[in-house]
């Protein structure tokens, strides 16, 4: 059963407004800044920037390369030189000493071909029988050559058909196994006896054309272990390879400058990457030719086996600016390059002195100039900036 007073209280509560309440942070710290959920610290953004920087750089470079393919490529000119050469040919000689066999028999060599033997070293033993397991009748080419043929060839070349008695030969040592030949002087041991040993320092240098050399070369095969030898025939030779000599015959028309040079640089065909310096020790005019010999003190691999050689002789050297071959253009009948002058593409005429690898040696161009590598991509008068 409702009362009047209860109804009045209910109406009063319905009309009362709601009150907003604030919650105060306790703990005696007062109000503080509340971190928002999900917010990143500054270090996160720094690391993110560094992680994206490199890929961005690569992407920019790729885009720049795509749009800059048609742009001019520039190179700074460098200094260079060019050697003036021409081809010659001639004979190589040494100071050589032939070792003759003190008796007839079979040679048993105690040193290897090309090795250096001191004075007093045992070079070979000549005995009545060949070394065990060696066939004295077979040579390296599988052909037989009689001792008579060898003797005739060598007599014609070395003795001139008049054999001479040996004055200062090796000192043979008799043993039960034959006679041992002892080396009389230090040098390289060679078994290639070819008859050209009669030339050299103190004996006269050889001056032949290639045709004359081929006609006079006796083509004597090298000595070999177990081969039968005769008394007073060559057994081996000792070479002083510290100094060797190169003799050539040149036409006077191309030898005027060379005859006056005390030294030249030579590149031999069997060792083209090793230049050697030749000192002129003899030069004389013979008819319409110049006969000239150089002494060389630089060792080349295998030189002791050489006789007739081809070489390039350096007679002059020119200096200038080196430009890539692709940079050279021809305009109105003139050869030149495009350079950058005050930001403008300009044609500059040059004089080509020669070619070296993938470059031209040119004159009239300063070494610090900026040269356009791809002249087909630019035009004269075009403004360029970088």
Residue 378 is predicted with a pLDDT of 85
CA dihedral 287, 288, 293, 294 (to 10 degrees): 150
Q: Is the pLDDT of residue 213 over 50?
A: yes
Highest-scoring range by mean pLDDT, 175-179, 189-193, 338-342: 189-193
pLDDT band at 369; cut points 50, 70, 90 = confident
Between the two ends of the chain, the Cα-to-Cα distance in Å is 101
Spatial neighbors of 145 by CB under 8 A, at least 6 apart, are: 139, 221
- Tell me if 312 sits within 8 A of 84, measured CB to CB: no
Residue 129 is predicted with a pLDDT of 86
pLDDT band at 22; cut points 50, 70, 90 = low
pLDDT band at 15; cut points 50, 70, 90 = low
CA proximity to 236, closest of 125, 99, 112: 99
Whole-number Å distance between alpha carbons of 195 and 216: 10
* Average pLDDT estimate for 249-266: 86
Residue 121 is predicted with a pLDDT of 94
The beta strands (E) that lie in 214-270 are given as: 228-229, 234-251, 263-268
Spatial neighbors of 302 by CB under 8 A, at least 6 apart, are: 270
Residue 130 is predicted with a pLDDT of 80
The more confidently predicted of residues 150 and 250 is: 250
Highest-scoring range by mean pLDDT, 110-124, 158-172, 205-219: 110-124
Q: What is the pTM of this model?
A: 0.65
Whole-number Å distance between alpha carbons of 245 and 318: 28
The more confidently predicted of residues 241 and 20 is: 241
Q: Over pLDDT 90: what percentage of the chain? A: 35
* Average pLDDT estimate for 193-203: 91
Spatial neighbors of 372 by CB under 8 A, at least 6 apart, are: 72, 73, 74, 327, 337, 338, 339, 340, 345, 378
Residue 219 is predicted with a pLDDT of 74
Residue 215 is predicted with a pLDDT of 87
Q: Over pLDDT 70: what percentage of the chain? A: 69
The more confidently predicted of residues 111 and 20 is: 111
- Tell me if 270 sits within 8 A of 309, measured CB to CB: yes
pLDDT band at 145; cut points 50, 70, 90 = very low
Residue 317 is predicted with a pLDDT of 83
Q: Which residue has the tokens 């070494």?
A: 367
* Average pLDDT estimate for 154-179: 55
Residue 189 is predicted with a pLDDT of 94
Domains in the chain: ranges and CATH: 74-80+320-377 (2.40.420.20), 87-138+146-317 (no CATH)
User: Please, what is the average pLDDT of the chain?
Assistant: 79
Dump pLDDT digits (tens) for 175-189: 556 899 999 989 999
216: its two tokens: 């006079």
* Average pLDDT estimate for 149-171: 51
Whole-number Å distance between alpha carbons of 85 and 318: 11
Q: Is the pLDDT of residue 148 over 50?
A: no
Q: Is the pLDDT of residue 143 over 90?
A: no
Dump pLDDT digits (tens) for 45-99: 677 666 676 666 666 655 544 444 446 788 888 888 888 888 999 999 999 999 9
Nearest-5° Cα angle at 371, 370 to 377: 125
Length of the chain: 386
Q: Is the pLDDT of residue 142 over 50?
A: no
* Average pLDDT estimate for 206-233: 87
Residue 99 is predicted with a pLDDT of 93
Whole-number Å distance between alpha carbons of 352 and 176: 75
Whole-number Å distance between alpha carbons of 192 and 105: 19
């Amino acid at each position: 059963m409702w009362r009047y007073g209860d109804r009045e209280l209910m109406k009063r509560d319905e009309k009362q407004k709601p009150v907003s309440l604030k919650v105060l942070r306790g703990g005696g710290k007062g109000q503080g800044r509340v971190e928002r959920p999900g917010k990143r610290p500054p270090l996160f953004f720094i690391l993110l920037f560094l992680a994206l920087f490199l890929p961005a750089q690569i992407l920019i470079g790729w885009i720049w390369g795509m749009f800059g393919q048609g742009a001019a490529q520039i190179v700074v000119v460098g200094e260079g030189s060019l050697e003036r050469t021409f081809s010659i040919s001639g004979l190589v000689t040494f100071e050589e000493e032939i070792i003759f066999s003190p008796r007839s028999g079979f040679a048993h060599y105690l040193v290897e071909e090309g090795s250096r033997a001191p004075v007093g070293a045992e070079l070979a033993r000549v005995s009545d029988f060949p070394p065990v397991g060696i066939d004295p009748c077979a040579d390296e080419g599988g052909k037989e050559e009689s001792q008579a043929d060898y003797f005739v060839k060598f007599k014609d070349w070395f003795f001139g058909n008049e054999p001479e008695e040996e004055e200062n030969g090796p000192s043979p040592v008799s043993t039960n196994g034959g006679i041992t030949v002892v080396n009389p002087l230090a040098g390289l041991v060679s078994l290639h006896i070819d008859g050209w040993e009669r030339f050299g320092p103190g004996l006269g240098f050889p001056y032949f054309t290639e045709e004359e050399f081929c006609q006079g070369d006796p083509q004597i095969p090298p000595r070999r272990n177990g081969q039968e030898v005769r008394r007073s025939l060559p057994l081996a030779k000792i070479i002083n390879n510290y100094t060797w000599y190169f003799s050539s015959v040149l036409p006077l028309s191309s030898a005027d400058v060379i005859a006056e040079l005390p030294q030249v640089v030579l590149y031999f065909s069997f060792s083209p990457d090793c230049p050697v310096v030749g000192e002129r020790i003899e030069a004389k005019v013979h008819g319409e030719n110049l006969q000239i010999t150089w002494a060389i003190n630089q060792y080349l691999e295998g030189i002791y086996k050489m006789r007739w050689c081809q070489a390039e002789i350096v007679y002059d050297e020119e200096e200038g600016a080196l430009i890539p071959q692709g940079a050279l253009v021809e305009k109105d009948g003139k050869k030149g390059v495009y350079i950058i002058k005050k930001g403008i593409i300009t044609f500059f005429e040059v004089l080509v002195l020669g070619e070296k690898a993938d470059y031209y040696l040119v004159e009239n161009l300063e070494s610090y100039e900026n040269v356009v590598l791809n002249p087909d991509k630019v035009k004269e008068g075009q403004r360029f900036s970088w």
